[in-house]
Structure 1
Amino acid sequence: MINVDNLSYSFPQKDLYNKVSFTLEEGQHAAFIGASGNGKSTLIDIIMDPERYMFDGKLEIDPNCKIGYVSQFSQLDKTKEITVFEYIAEEFIKLQNEIANICTQMETSSDIETLLEKYQEALDAFDAIDGDDFESNINKKLNLANLNKHKDRMISELSGGEFKLIQVIKEMLNNPDLMIMDEPDVFLDFENLNSLKNLINSHKKTMLVITHNRYLLNHCFNKIIHLENMEIQEFDGRYIDYNFSLLQTKIELQELAIADDEEIARNEIRIEKLRERATYNAEASNGRALKARVKIQERLEARRIKAPFVDIKQPNINLANNNEIEETIALKVEDFSVAFDEVLLENVNFEIKSTDKVALIGINGVGKTTLLREIFKNNNDCIKINNDIEVAYLSQMQDEILNESNTILQEFYDAGFETYREIRRYLSNYGFGEDRIEQKIESLSGGEKNILQLAKVSASKANMLLLDEPTSHLDTYSQIALEKAIQNYNGAILMISHDYHFIVNCMDYVLMIEDKTIRKVSMKKFRKMIYAKHFDKDYLEIEQKKKSVETQIALALMDTDFERAKILSQELEALIKSL
């Protein structure tokens, strides 16, 4: 279906791909993975609209291939006054109306042949998306995603996570030959993540999905396309097998590459000695020996094993604050209520101490983000923030905090930094080198924008952080860096997240929104709830151990500690077998 051959592409500030190649065959479900900012979304853009981009190499795709697309930055249109069912059915209703209109014209028109052609085209388009059964098909997909209860709700009333799933359903029902989705899992609650898994697995046609979500990677895909260090690896099979194979291959290749380097270095020393001898002694035998040794070196260079990419691109996130205070009540919420068309939250009461780290959880659409915004605005009589508390906010809507028309440099001048040197030094910790800071924020990936938000939050030195989905769009190593930074932070945190492991590893307890109010839940009870309602306990615990061992192998490879890497690889293999 798609053939990419030796494709290279660069931005002025950054090379993205160097002669990458891969194929995507009909019916495959491919996961497209790689670190944030490596160019996954740009490659998707090139596939969807190759005429817009100047690239080297070849991209072959069937000209009749119909592509469905779900963006990572889908915006809910709050002004669209139609129901969920009508939104999903838009294309079907449009074609129905077109067919009915042509039939009406036929009753009075003399140009029947032209109208018959139009009628047949519209009928073919309607049949291509299984139009006769569209109502039944919509209901089936909504049931599969556990969203049938929302069928008659206005589209403008949906949460971001609910809308993302509705978009997925709409694109699938339009029956594309190739379905492309860019991080469709972002902002989904535990239940909706399972719904997305079911939708992906029910789809019979070809699919290409960018995701960092390990749950989806482990359960939904039969091909892996991995973009790393401007190159692509492709693997037919499960992610769990690919990742193990990749780490084993890196251990073997790095060991061989270092052995080659050492042999080439030893041979170079011999060449230098022979060259020195030949300079002082012009005997023919010395010249012949030098020539032979140079030829050996050329052969060694020609068969040299290329060292695998083992660098870990991990930001150095530091959330330390300048306003450490003795333990006190940082935030108090009393009798808080909020309503739009209907009541979201009613008579909410809770307090957070100055050292508490708290996860705010609940299904999509219950008012988590609304509450966090109200706390940040701090202009509601029901919300009281201690006078000694300074608050910083990270938003899931990245343009709420970042001015996307700014360059990175200008954004940090606006944030209070005074010199170019100060900004350059500070941002280098977050992976933005001097060659990147003149880049426009709008050109960054979702993960890079979140890292930039974290850099702004860190620079504020605030002693209370409001974090709305801080792990969204982040790759594994950036998530690990953020987890460590939160664990080391000595202020208060109120965080919205649907990342189970992140919550368990970083938070003290949970505030759960249910039935329009909030209750406090211990971490032990939260774990039990997740196991009972959403995910298998053994899977979650083994997956967490796997992730830890994979990270340790990557670190061992960076330190060229092969013995440790091999021992860890055996441990990882045992964990995979237990799954």
Structure 2
Amino acid sequence: MILLQVQQVARHFGGDYLFKNAQLEVQDHARVALVGPNGAGKSTLLKMIAGITTPDDGQIILGKNVQVGYLAQDSGLSSERTIYAEMLTIFEPLRQMEQQMHTLEAAIADSSTDHTNADYADLLKRYDQIQHDFTEANGYGYEAEIRGVLHGFQFPEETFEKPISTLSGGERSRLALAKLLLAKKDVLILDEPTNHLDIETLTWLENYLQTYPGALLTVSHDRYFLDKITKEVYDMSRHTLTHYTGNYSHFLTLKADNLTLEWKAFEKQQAEIEKLQTFVDKNIVRASSTKQAQSRRKQLEKMDKLDRPQNDAAKIHFHFETEQPSGNEVLKVTEAAVGYEPDKIMVEPINFEVNRQERLAIIGPNGIGKSTLLKSVLHKIPFIKGQEKLGSNVSVGYYDQEQRNLHANKTVLEELWDDHRTTPEKEIRTLLGSFLFSGDDVLKVVSQLSGGEKARLLLTKLAMNHDNFLIMDEPTNHLDIDSKEVLETALRDFNGTVLFVSHDRYFINQVATGIIELSDTGSKRYLGDYDYYLAKKAEEEAFAAADTPTTTTQAIVTAQDGYKASKETQRAQRKLARLVEQLENQMGELEQQAADIQEEMAQSETITKPLVLQELQQKLETVQAQLAQTETEWEEQALALEGLSD
């Protein structure tokens, strides 16, 4: 069932279009991602769908009785109520129904002893109906649901009576999302819902949304989140929307494949045009061949010429370089405690070392002291206990998530030039250009910049300073996905050392060579990226569970059932092996189908027929979606087979 449709929608300013002819559809239970570079108009379109603004062209159609819930970017809940009282407002109709039940119960108890009269029968009938409706609407479970969602967003029981007006901005943002989830609208529109969430809360939210009864339309720069939640992607680029099936990673593959096909078709047509034009130029003046030349010229004039394929909007491009190498030991933190007062320690003991060319990610729940630890290392906040020691020849560059390293009254150009007075202006402008500050952009005052522009300016300053030890606090905040990918590459290629705090699990996976986990018990070091960290945590939990003693009876039963379990395992292995082989064959067939369709799309007689191309593209998307689903199933069954074999 279609819940909402966006039909030929546009937003324009004078003669310039932000986007036009936008087509989008959300069906029941859909999980849709809206992606694209910053400034493409994603949030603008979400506001139109939510009914906050109206399109300049086109229309947005909602299904009958479809309710839409909308969470704006960085929105916070404002209320004079307590946390729990505010959540209860969502269930006011249920609470009124509950009160009606109590009233009827009292009336039934107070009625006359003659249970055969009509009034008494009417009371019972009304009570049965309202009790049925109350049960169907989860009347006996809504308070447990409130507690579960609040706990998921890291609000423990003791905070439930806390006034919302006393909460921080991040806490109010989490509460706004919690309230929206509890409302269970038919369509949930979320603009950057992962902002202000730590990894633990993100994981909970992903699991919750996977079972959410309604449809989901979201904008997010969190690629890990998009891969786990979404099954469709609308790409907002080149001033319009393009639809893809599959999660975000699959979308990237499809988009790259489509761009390759576009280039092949374009280059093939250009070669044909050049060949025809050469014939015309050589033969138009020859009496013997002028008719053939005129025919070729008419063929050229009638040809439906393909536009040159375009990549997305300009991307930042830069790299970090060190002026001099540091010693092998870059930083050592010993028996440290961080906090803001001696009696308010956030985390202890903290012990870790950072060696040259390592890239270590610091992770942990919100409020544990990650940013405070970085500031203590930088001597901005003193350690309450312990100490830190920098190695020899270490020069530190700092990326502050609060962007306090920038001067509000300076221009973009002055922000760099004042720190590097001997550097020619042309060289500074060239560097700024690589971070997408061109022309008059360099004369903008810092206070007028967006969060993304300030983030790029901070990165520009870091790149220009050539420090060999980069300390970065949430460097991906405010960056779009393309900019994050460039930053990942720059940090991986960096010949210095990096210590960073991040909630972006995909970014951690791409950059980190090790993890430092902060928790209530202190710090713990893990090798590898985020996925390896998750595997080690699961292994630790498994070992802890295995340490639980089993009873003698359990041990006897296990021994008696061993032979039977072994036989069952062998049968399961054979069954899985056959299934894996079938899926592999199916994948091969689907891959061949996709290749055949792509080859047909590249044919010269197909290129000039837009309707045929569109039909083939739809077939290709269907086959590729089937292939992605088959690959996922194959991976699951192959892992299961591997598990049985161990």
Aligned residue in 1 for 2:279: 270
Aligned residue in 2 for 1:493: 498
2:368 is paired with a residue whose SS is coil
Aligned residue in 2 for 1:317: 318
Which digits, 9 at most, give the CA deviation of each residue in 1:222-269, with x for residues without a partner?
432111232310245555654444344333332222111211122222
Cα 1:336–1:146 shift into 2, 3 Å: closer
| Unpaired runs of at least 5, structure 2 | 100-133, 542-623, 637-646
CA distance in 1 between partners of 2:416 and 2:13 (Å): 26
Which range is displaced more, 151-160 or 387-396?
A: 151-160
- Are 1:20 and 2:77 an aligned pair? no
CA distance in 2 between partners of 1:519 and 1:363 (Å): 14
- Out of 515, 529, 532, the residue aligned to residue 536 of structure 2 is 529
CA distance in 1 between partners of 2:195 and 2:466 (Å): 28
- Are 1:7 and 2:7 an aligned pair? no
CA distance in 2 between partners of 1:35 and 1:533 (Å): 40
| C-alpha contact (below 8 Å) 2:37/2:313 kept by paired residues | no
Q: Which amino acid aligns with 2:208?
A: L
Cα 1:522–1:163 shift into 2, 3 Å: farther
CA distance in 2 between partners of 1:46 and 1:162 (Å): 27
Cα 1:355–1:402 shift into 2, 3 Å: same
Aligned residue in 2 for 1:69: 70
Which range is displaced more, 253-262 or 344-353?
A: 344-353
Aligned residue in 2 for 1:139: 147
| C-alpha contact (below 8 Å) 2:470/2:499 kept by paired residues | yes
- Out of 377, 380, 404, the residue aligned to residue 400 of structure 1 is 404
CA distance in 2 between partners of 1:480 and 1:427 (Å): 18
Aligned residue in 2 for 1:548: none
- Are 1:424 and 2:429 an aligned pair? yes
**If you compute each CA radius of gyration, which structure gives the higher value, 1 or 2?**
2
| C-alpha contact (below 8 Å) 1:441/1:449 kept by paired residues | yes
CA distance in 2 between partners of 1:401 and 1:389 (Å): 20
Pairwise CA distance, 1:316: 2.3
Pairwise CA distance, 1:151: 5.5
CA distance in 2 between partners of 1:48 and 1:410 (Å): 41
Which digits, 9 at most, give the CA deviation of each residue in 1:126-180, with x for residues without a partner?
x9xx897753441343466686657538568989877654432212224445422
CA distance in 2 between partners of 1:413 and 1:262 (Å): 48
Pairwise CA distance, 1:31: 0.6
- Out of 175, 178, 198, the residue aligned to residue 169 of structure 1 is 178
Q: Which amino acid aligns with 1:325?
A: S
Q: Which amino acid aligns with 2:260?
A: I
> Identity over aligned residues, as a percent?
25
| C-alpha contact (below 8 Å) 2:337/2:347 kept by paired residues | yes
Pairwise CA distance, 1:185: 2.4
Which digits, 9 at most, give the CA deviation of each residue in 1:318-351, with x for residues without a partner?
2213243333454545543315795312343444
Which digits, 9 at most, give the CA deviation of each residue in 1:436-474, with x for residues without a partner?
445676776655543333222222333322212223454
Q: How many residues align?
A: 499
CA distance in 2 between partners of 1:157 and 1:458 (Å): 40
Aligned residue in 2 for 1:85: 84
Which digits, 9 at most, give the CA deviation of each residue in 1:165-217, with x for residues without a partner?
44322122244454222222245444322211123223333432012334333
2:180 is paired with a residue whose SS is helix
Cα 1:240–1:153 shift into 2, 3 Å: farther
2:439 is paired with a residue whose SS is coil
Pairwise CA distance, 1:362: 1.6
- Are 1:29 and 2:31 an aligned pair? yes
| C-alpha contact (below 8 Å) 2:224/2:506 kept by paired residues | no
Q: Which amino acid aligns with 2:84?
A: F
CA distance in 2 between partners of 1:519 and 1:27 (Å): 40
- Are 1:511 and 2:485 an aligned pair? no
- Are 1:180 and 2:197 an aligned pair? no
Aligned residue in 2 for 1:578: 635
| C-alpha contact (below 8 Å) 1:37/1:448 kept by paired residues | no
Aligned residue in 1 for 2:348: 346
Q: TM-score scaled to structure 2, two decimals? A: 0.64
- Are 1:224 and 2:226 an aligned pair? no
1:197 is paired with a residue whose SS is helix
| Unpaired runs of at least 5, structure 1 | 101-126, 535-568
- Are 1:479 and 2:480 an aligned pair? no
Pairwise CA distance, 1:296: 0.5
Which range is displaced more, 86-95 or 215-224?
A: 86-95
CA distance in 1 between partners of 2:35 and 2:144 (Å): 35
- Are 1:357 and 2:356 an aligned pair? no
CA distance in 2 between partners of 1:229 and 1:415 (Å): 38
1:400 is paired with a residue whose SS is coil
| C-alpha contact (below 8 Å) 2:333/2:350 kept by paired residues | no
Cα 1:396–1:48 shift into 2, 3 Å: farther
Q: Which amino acid aligns with 2:499?
A: L
CA distance in 2 between partners of 1:357 and 1:153 (Å): 42
Which digits, 9 at most, give the CA deviation of each residue in 1:515-562, with x for residues without a partner?
25223333397353255489xxxxxxxxxxxxxxxxxxxxxxxxxxxx
Q: TM-score scaled to structure 1, two decimals? A: 0.70
